[in-house]
Chains A and B, each alone.
Chain A
Amino acid sequence: MPVTDDQVATLRALLSDDMDRYRQLFSGLDRDEARKGYSALVTAGFAEAVERRFGTGYRGGDIVEFVASVRSRSDQVAAELDPDVAERVIRVVLEDAPVDDLSRDAITGAQLLLLIGLIADAQLDGGGLAQFLAEARKLADQLMS
């Protein structure tokens, strides 16, 4: 089953920093569908955002600096987002990297926190965010196929 409109709306609310709406929509998602579709959308959105941010002309130092910039925004994020995990999941997208020794929860959590950081930096307007999510949705459907 492909990504649903509700799942896209949920992620859009989160990435718009509309937490009240996000919580309302998230709690209303079908759990079985969401663990496949919504999580695919998060991974796809993360990959899309990383590729747009770093492109192909990046330096390794750019990854280090970006992760640090996200982690330095709050004590909670610094504690929750392991820098090694964060750098590696970004590199999985850009050039591949080993993650076999990392926990699934750490990998998933890192993707979401970094996605939020990437979107926060981008300061997309409504149309830009919609276009971004449309691209992410296409990729998410591929991940689930």
Chain B
Amino acid sequence: MPNNNIMKYIRYEFNDKEQADSKIEAFYNEEGELTTDAAFIRLNKFVMTEGTYDSEGVEITAPVLSTGYALDVLWRDLDASPYGWKSYEVTPSNPKHKLL
């Protein structure tokens, strides 16, 4: 049956993709199997302000992107971030992403 006992959905912001990947890879064993019950959602950067373009599609102002590398995680068997993740937690006022 589904594990409905513990579930935690947390946003993290890492310096870059490589740092996020290394954090995630620590949860995979040598056979490439995930060793924790979690869903990792790699979000990268968000568009904070849309770019503007003229009628020919030429950029007038460039889009403004978020900083860092965003990663959402649904931890299904943890009620808090695992060791080494807590310091990368963020709580944006406008998350820009949600679970359906």
Bind each other: no
List residues of chain A with CB under 8 Å of any chain B CB: none
Residues of B within 8 A of A (CB): none
